[in-house]
């Protein structure tokens, strides 16, 4: 049967609980052992309205806006519904009443009591009472005959009695039940029920069956039973149409019978097997609400479909009897069709008609269905129609004259249903109807509102007492909204009949003596939301206006809102405004968001974009992180943060529900920080918001991007990386809006991101995912790419290393392009190079590169030997790199020098060769410039480049270490004069090893260059220049990109 | 060992406080504390918590075990078992005393907690005396007592050791052939 059992939810404290629907079916109303009557808008209503009726509430009945309850004070009271105002006491007993019920018209109430009496009271005049005496034990249950003639009651003395109300006499009495002495000891509550509408039957739960007695004759006409029902039935309830009977049993079994056929049409089991102690049908007959003895509330939904399902199964079931011979095989087909059809929404719409009158509407429906089916089934429609007609006849006397449920007549609209727009709220405030509540909890402090008999007051408390001492204000104006900042407290109240809506500001940081100001809003305009920023206050009103005030009370800008405001938040100069963009459908809210920036340059950062929310959720918090990034939380607990780097999109950063233990637990968010990454919130057990007492403690949740497969190492690192990127976006925002930025933290975060990238790179390498490696390298900064290159070459992935080196080059040129604009012009003016004039066009890039490098190194030196600028530059770089490396320390942040250095000279030699070519001609071409450079230096600057001069004398190929040793021997000896030769070498070895790998590499390269070409450096150099000139038109970038790879291969070679 | 010394040791235990001031990490010999953010709980040693509390710079959050229900459970268990049950905290008595004396306004149901802890203490000390009694009575050479806290050991140490010494002396004098000279120095 298609019937959805919704999960149970906590309703009341443990104990007998009752439930009913209001007349319209909009609310579910429950009462329980805690003495509260709760009014639920739906099963998912986390904040039901409640009316306290006494210490315990035993029973309730609701009709025509009157709520009648039996409470522990031995009275039966009336409250208005849904307001919950007390409306007098209907009657009293000497002990508590056990069950109350309305008659059909709602004019009388019957109440059974533990003092053995049943009273029937006129609602309009409680003095008109009729007392029915005769039970010899507490009364279990009472029910009115729909025609108001009789009343049936069951009692612990074991009897079920039908009374004549007028004569106050027993009409008949059956000894059906077990005798007990008290309701609490009774095996069954024996909630009996008269059939509504026709009132033909009285249903009495007896043991595991429900007996049906015919009204008038009081004959036992049958029993409803089910083999699965093994425990006593507690409660019986008729569907509003009178065709179905639902029974709830001890042990939690819910059974629904079709009374005419006496067949079970639906069985459901309570999810925990608790005893069902109350059942109520929705006025439309499509839902059943039930409660158990543990105080939980449950709902069966979609019963309408099951209802039709049975009618259609029944129709064919009746038909074969008469028309068996005619349509033997098609019947089954049709039955199937009918069943499957029963699930369709069309069918659901038709269900009500079929309940109240079978003749015309049902035929119409069946014909329609026939038309939808294929031809051969069209024959069956006739038979089905007949079958249904017959079926209708059977029932005609029950249903014919009866008044159909109100809903049945209404045309049923089955499309999307508009969602009621969510009300305006203050983020960080608990609902306004509470007597003790938080009016605001934010990063500055807490504003509490008390509104009970003794006191109507507001407490303001600051987390940091250095801001201001705590304040206690009397709330004579009835403020309902508050915001708190480092400068002021802003309060607002809605308008009353004679008073306008007021805005009050306590500007405590003010340096003059009048620290308070108040503004009346124009007549008919109510404050809906408010917020404080730095130096300003904003108020959104019911007139769809946003009024801006200075914090001192000067009225500033005013503008119209695009829709009714939902909430606002302020931070520094930013104002976040959420409003209703349109009507949402099917539980969705259609919200829009505006983000404005005040201050010197006023502008709108977000211009009414739709606010993404989780399905069927609403906004529950909106605000800024401490760093000023907008973020918000929806009712599904999903936290989203503004991603400025991705065109102001919203990224989910945390799902607070994931950390909740139970379904009804929530986290009430009070703030967020990006550095350190903290979501500050208050865990609330079984509710959406915390009570004011005991004072709740703030918990911290970590952020987590919902990336895939975060259980794997890869997913984890990806998540960490992107989270780090997202949460450090605010630096650029802060610096762009002129705030001070914590440089250390920023570099720290950059470092962290690059480290993560490197780890991911290493992981991908391990997994043989070279393409992925390259993708990752594209995210890296140039320095880290060189690291990656080294990693790749060390793990002998030459192909990868080459590709990476291309990326490295691209990055370096990019870097220089970024840097260039500032110095390029004056560079050109101050440095008239010969070479540049010769090869102006193609040298341009080169120049740029040079330029960037020059920034790093000593400019003066470069100027000294201007003509062959290539060599001088390289030397400079080498020197600088050697100087820098020890300072920069770890490999994490190698200086720029080593990367750039080899690029420039390489450029020309390599132009446009393919990979293969590169590898083949790599060696010689690479050597040339390097070798050339020391030589050139030697010529031009003998004093500066003394070590290379020595090198030229060496005939024998030298290793990089030797080269280095030559240069540094003197220093070592100077430092340790007592060392002999071997010790010097040892010492030098040690020092050489401590140098960064890059440096060693450069030495190795130098050594290679020298070993091969030292003799004819000059020649080579000239040759190279020629090459350069000939290739000048070829793509420079390409060629220069090869350099790192060659460098690497050299590294690999030396390793081998 | 003095009870005040035990209390001093207990002051190294950590409790959560909610400061109402803001301060960066502080670096102490015993470890780094903080950072202190107003409104956010932070772990600090009891001595600091009490100091801050006295200067009205923080609210102290009671330790998890300092809760009426949990203590009631522990009390029942303690009463039921003949041996010592694990104490809620190795310094439960000291912490209760310190926190309740200085920060009773931050601890819900302080009076009940005081009574409960006193009950637990009394039960345990009674057990301790009982076992000391049977230890001596049965003239055992050694015994094992688990789950004792420092303060509890401290209360009985002096008395037990002195009396054992004393009894040893008496017994050795009684025994025939015991050399008197051995105890001459006493």
Alpha helices in chain B (DSSP H): 3-10, 46-54, 68-80, 92-103, 110-137, 150-174
* Nearest residue to A577 via CA among A590, A564, A565: A565
What was the pLDDT predicted at A840? 43
What was the pLDDT predicted at A686? 86
Contacts of B176 by beta carbon, 8 Å cutoff, 6+ apart: none
A465 touching chain B per CB within 8 A: yes
Question: How far is it, in rounded angstroms, from Cα A678 to Cα A701?
Answer: 6
A464 touching chain B per CB within 8 A: yes
Q: Which residue is closest to B16 within chain A, CA to CA?
A: A697
Q: Does residue B176 register a pLDDT over 80?
A: no
Q: Determine, for residues A697 and B40 on separate chains, whether the beta-carbon distance falls below 8 Å.
A: no
Question: How far is it, in rounded angstroms, from Cα A681 to Cα A678?
Answer: 9
Q: Determine, for residues B38 and A463 on separate chains, whether the beta-carbon distance falls below 8 Å.
A: yes
A468 touching chain B per CB within 8 A: no
Question: How far is it, in rounded angstroms, from Cα A706 to Cα A700?
Answer: 18
Q: Determine, for residues B40 and A443 on separate chains, whether the beta-carbon distance falls below 8 Å.
A: no
- The CATH class, in words, for A4-301 is mainly beta
Strands of A388-499 (E only): list them: 436-441, 445-451, 456-462, 471-474, 481-484, 489-493
Q: Please name the member of A465, A694, A698 whose beta carbon is closest to the beta carbon of B20.
A: A465
Question: How far is it, in rounded angstroms, from Cα A139 to Cα A235?
Answer: 14
* Phi-psi map region of A607: left, alpha, beta (phi>0 left; psi -120 to 50 alpha): beta
What stretch of H or E contains A334? helix A328-341
Q: Please name the member of A465, A466, A698 whose beta carbon is closest to the beta carbon of B40.
A: A698
What was the pLDDT predicted at A1? 52
Backbone angles phi, psi at A195, to 5 degrees: -65, 130
What was the pLDDT predicted at B124? 94
Cβ A313 vs Cβ A18: under 8 Å: no
Q: Specify the CATH number of the domain B3-172.
A: 1.20.58.1020
Number of Cβ pairs closer than 8 Å across A and B? Answer: 30
pLDDT in tens, B95-117: 999 999 999 898 888 999 999 99
Q: Determine, for residues A464 and B41 on separate chains, whether the beta-carbon distance falls below 8 Å.
A: no
Closest-CA distance, B56 to chain A, in angstroms, reads: 10
Alpha helices in A655-797 (DSSP H): 713-727, 729-736, 743-766, 770-779, 782-794
Using CA atoms, how far residue A550 sits from A285, A379, A530, A557, A571, in Å, is: 57, 79, 13, 10, 14
* Phi-psi map region of A263: left, alpha, beta (phi>0 left; psi -120 to 50 alpha): beta
What was the pLDDT predicted at A956? 53
pTM of the model: 0.53
What was the pLDDT predicted at B5? 93
B165 touching chain A per CB within 8 A: no
The domain locations on chain A are 4-301, 425-524, 742-815
Q: Please name the member of B22, B41, B56 whose beta carbon is closest to the beta carbon of A698.
A: B41
For a pLDDT cut of 90, what percent of chain B falls above it? 62
Question: How far is it, in rounded angstroms, from Cα A733 to Cα A626?
Answer: 13
Residues of chain A below pLDDT 50: 305-408, 822-955, 1011-1021, 1023, 1026-1056
Q: Does residue B167 register a pLDDT over 70?
A: yes
**What residues are paired with A482 via a beta bridge?**
A491
Q: Please name the member of B22, B56, B61 whose beta carbon is closest to the beta carbon of A464.
A: B22
Contacts of A538 by beta carbon, 8 Å cutoff, 6+ apart: A530, A531, A532, A546, A547, A548, A549, A568, A570, A575
What was the pLDDT predicted at A922? 41
Q: Determine, for residues B41 and A697 on separate chains, whether the beta-carbon distance falls below 8 Å.
A: yes
Q: Determine, for residues B61 and A680 on separate chains, whether the beta-carbon distance falls below 8 Å.
A: no
Cis amide bond preceding A600, omega within 30: no
Residues of A in contact with B61 (CB under 8 A): 697
Q: Determine, for residues B39 and A697 on separate chains, whether the beta-carbon distance falls below 8 Å.
A: no
Window 670-699 of A, Cβ < 8 Å to B: 680, 694, 697-698
What was the pLDDT predicted at A703? 93
* Nearest residue to A442 via CA among A104, A670, A627: A670
What was the pLDDT predicted at A977? 66
Please report how many Cα atoms fall inside a 13 Å half-sphere around the Cα of residue A147, on the Cβ side: 11
Judged by DSSP in three states, A901 sits in: coil
Closest-CA distance, A958 to chain B, in angstroms, reads: 52
Residues of B in contact with A465 (CB under 8 A): 20-21, 38, 56-57
A323 touching chain B per CB within 8 A: no
Contacts of B42 by beta carbon, 8 Å cutoff, 6+ apart: B16, B17, B18, B19, B33, B34, B35, B36
**What residues are paired with A680 via a beta bridge?**
A671, A700
B181 touching chain A per CB within 8 A: no
Contacts of A628 by beta carbon, 8 Å cutoff, 6+ apart: A571, A572, A574, A730, A733, A734
Q: Determine, for residues A698 and B22 on separate chains, whether the beta-carbon distance falls below 8 Å.
A: no
- Using only the alpha carbons of chain B, give its radius of gyration: 22
* Phi-psi map region of B31: left, alpha, beta (phi>0 left; psi -120 to 50 alpha): left
Residues of B in contact with A696 (CB under 8 A): none
* Nearest residue to A289 via CA among A233, A327, A237, A243: A237
């Amino acid at each position: 049967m298609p019937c959805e059992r919704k999960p149970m939810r906590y309703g009341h404290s443990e104990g007998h609980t009752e439930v009913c629907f209001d007349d319209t079916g909009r609310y579910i109303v429950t009462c329980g052992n805690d003495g509260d009557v709760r009014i639920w808008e739906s099963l998912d209503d986390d904040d039901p309205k409640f009316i306290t009726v006494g210490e315990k509430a035993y029973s309730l009945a609701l009709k025509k806006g009157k709520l009648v309850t039996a409470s522990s004070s031995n009275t039966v009271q009336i409250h208005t519904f849904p307001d919950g105002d007390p409306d007098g006491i209907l009657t009293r007993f000497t002990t508590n009443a056990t069950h109350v019920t309305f008659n059909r018209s709602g004019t009388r109430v019957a109440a059974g009591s533990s003092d053995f009496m049943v009273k029937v009271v006129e609602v309009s005049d409680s003095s008109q009472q009729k007392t029915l005496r005769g039970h010899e034990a507490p009364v279990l249950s009472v029910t009115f005959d729909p025609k108001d003639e009789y009343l049936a009651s069951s009692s612990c003395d074991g009897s079920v009695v039908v009374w004549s109300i007028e004569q106050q006499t027993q009409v008949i009495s059956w000894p059906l039940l077990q005798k007990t002495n008290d309701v609490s000891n009774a095996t069954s509550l024996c909630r009996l029920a008269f059939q509504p509408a026709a009132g033909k039957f009285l249903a009495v739960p007896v043991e595991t069956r429900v007996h049906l007695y015919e009204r008038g004759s009081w004959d036992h006409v049958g029993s409803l039973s089910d083999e699965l029902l093994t425990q006593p039935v507690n409660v019986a309830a008729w569907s509003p149409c009178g065709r179905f009977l639902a029974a709830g049993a001890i042990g939690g079994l819910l059974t629904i019978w079709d009374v005419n056929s006496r067949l079970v049409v639906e069985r459901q089991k309570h999810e925990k097997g608790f005893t069902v102690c109350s059942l109520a049908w929705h006025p439309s007959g499509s839902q059943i609400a039930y409660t158990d003895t543990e105080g939980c509330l449950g709902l069966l939904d979609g019963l309408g479909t099951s209802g039709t399902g049975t009618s259609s199964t029944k129709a064919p079931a009746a038909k074969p009897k008469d028309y068996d011979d005619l349509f033997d095989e098609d019947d089954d087909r049709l039955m199937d069709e009918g069943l499957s059809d029963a699930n369709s929404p069309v069918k659901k719409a038709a269900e009500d008609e079929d309940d109240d009158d079978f003749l015309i509407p049902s035929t119409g429906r069946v014909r329609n269905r026939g038309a939808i089916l294929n031809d051969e089934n069209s024959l069956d429609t006739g038979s089905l129609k007949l079958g249904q007609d017959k079926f209708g006849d059977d029932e005609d006397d029950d249903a014919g004259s009866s008044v159909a449920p109100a809903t049945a007549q209404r045309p049923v609209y089955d499309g999307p249903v508009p969602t009621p727009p969510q009300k305006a709220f203050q983020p960080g405030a608990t609902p306004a109807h509470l007597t003790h509540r938080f009016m605001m909890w934010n990063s500055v402090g807490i504003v509490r509102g008390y509104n009970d008999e003794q006191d109507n007051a507001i407490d303001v408390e600051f987390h940091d007492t250095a801001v201001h001492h705590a304040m206690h204000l009397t709330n004579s104006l009835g403020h309902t909204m508050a915001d708190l900042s480092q400068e002021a407290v802003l309060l607002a109240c809605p308008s009353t009949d004679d008073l306008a809506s007021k805005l009050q500001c306590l500007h405590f940081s003010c340096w003059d003596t009048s620290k308070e100001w108040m503004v009346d809003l124009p007549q008919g305009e109510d404050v809906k939301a408010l917020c404080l920023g730095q130096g300003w206050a904003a108020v959104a009103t019911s007139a769809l206006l946003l009024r801006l005030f200075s914090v001192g009370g000067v009225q500033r800008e005013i503008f119209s809102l695009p829709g009714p405001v939902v909430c606002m938040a302020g931070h520094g100069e930013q104002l976040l405004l959420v409003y209703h963009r349109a009507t949402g459908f099917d539980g969705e809210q259609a919200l829009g968001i505006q983000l404005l920036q005040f201050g010197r340059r006023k502008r709108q950062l977000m211009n009414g974009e739709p606010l993404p929310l989780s399905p069927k959720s609403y906004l529950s918090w909106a605000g800024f992180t401490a760093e000023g990034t907008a973020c918000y939380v929806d009712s599904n607990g999903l936290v989203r943060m503004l991603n400025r780097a991705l065109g102001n999109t919203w990224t989910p950063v945390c799902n607070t529900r994931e950390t909740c233990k139970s379904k009804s637990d929530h986290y009430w968010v009070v703030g967020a920080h990006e550095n350190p990454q903290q979501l500050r919130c208050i865990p609330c057990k079984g509710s959406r918001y915390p009570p004011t007492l005991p004072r709740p403690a703030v918990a911290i949740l970590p952020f987590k991007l919902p990336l895939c497969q975060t259980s794997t190492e890869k997913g984890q690192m990806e998540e960490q990386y992107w989270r780090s990127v997202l949460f450090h976006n605010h630096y650029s925002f802060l610096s762009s809006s002129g705030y001070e930025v914590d440089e250390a933290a920023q570099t720290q975060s950059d470092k962290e991101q690059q480290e993560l990238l490197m780890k991911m790179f290493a992981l991908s390498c391990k997994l043989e995912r070279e393409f992925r490696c390259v993708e990752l390298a594209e995210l890296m900064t140039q320095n880290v790419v060189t690291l990656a290159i080294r990693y790749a070459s060390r793990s002998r992935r030459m192909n990868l290393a080459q590709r990476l080196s291309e990326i490295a080059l691209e990055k370096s040129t990019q870097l220089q392009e970024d840097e260039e604009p500032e110095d390029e012009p004056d560079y050109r003016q101050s440095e008239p190079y010969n070479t540049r004039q010769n090869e102006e066009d193609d040298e341009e890039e080169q120049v740029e590169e040079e330029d960037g490098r020059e920034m790093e190194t000593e400019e003066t030196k470069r100027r000294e030997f201007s003509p062959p600028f290539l060599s001088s530059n390289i030397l400079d770089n080498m020197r600088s790199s050697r100087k820098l490396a020890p300072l920069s320390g770890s490999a994490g942040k190698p200086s720029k020098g080593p990367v750039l250095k080899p690029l420039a000279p390489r450029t020309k030699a390599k132009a446009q060769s393919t990979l293969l070519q590169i590898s083949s001609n790599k060696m010689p071409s690479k050597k040339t410039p390097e070798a050339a450079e020391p030589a050139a230096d030697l010529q031009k600057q003998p004093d500066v480049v003394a070590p290379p001069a020595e090198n030229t004398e060496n005939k024998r190929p030298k290793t990089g270490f030797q080269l280095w040793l030559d240069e540094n021997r003197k220093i070592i000896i100077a430092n340790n004069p007592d060392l002999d030769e071997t010790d010097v070498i040892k010492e030098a070895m040690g020092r050489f090893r401590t140098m960064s790998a890059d440096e060693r590499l450069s030495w190795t390269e130098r050594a290679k260059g020298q070993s091969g070409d030292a003799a004819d450096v000059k020649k080579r150099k000239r040759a190279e220049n020629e090459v350069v000139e000939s290739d000048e038109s070829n793509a420079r970038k390409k060629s220069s990109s090869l350099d790192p790879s060659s460098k690497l291969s050299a590294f690999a070679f030396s390793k081998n | 060992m003095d009870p005040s010394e035990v209390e001093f040791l207990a002051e190294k235990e950590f409790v959560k406080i909610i400061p109402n001031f803001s301060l960066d990490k502080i670096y102490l010999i015993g470890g780094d504390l903080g950072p202190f953010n107003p409104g956010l709980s932070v772990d600090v040693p009891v001595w600091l918590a009490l100091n801050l509390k006295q200067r009205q710079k923080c609210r102290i959050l009671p330790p998890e075990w300092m809760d009426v229900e949990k203590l009631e459970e522990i009390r029942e268990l303690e009463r039921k078992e003949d041996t010592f049950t694990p104490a809620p905290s190795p310094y439960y008595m000291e912490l209760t005393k310190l926190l309740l004396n200085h920060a009773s306004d931050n601890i819900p149901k302080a009076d009940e907690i005081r009574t409960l802890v006193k009950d637990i203490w009394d039960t345990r000390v009674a057990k301790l005396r009982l076992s000391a009694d049977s230890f001596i009575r049965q003239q055992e050479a050694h015994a094992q007592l688990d789950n004792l806290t420092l303060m509890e050991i401290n209360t009985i140490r002096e008395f037990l050791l002195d009396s054992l010494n004393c009894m040893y002396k008496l017994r050795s004098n009684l025994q025939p052939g015991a050399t008197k000279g051995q105890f001459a120095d006493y």
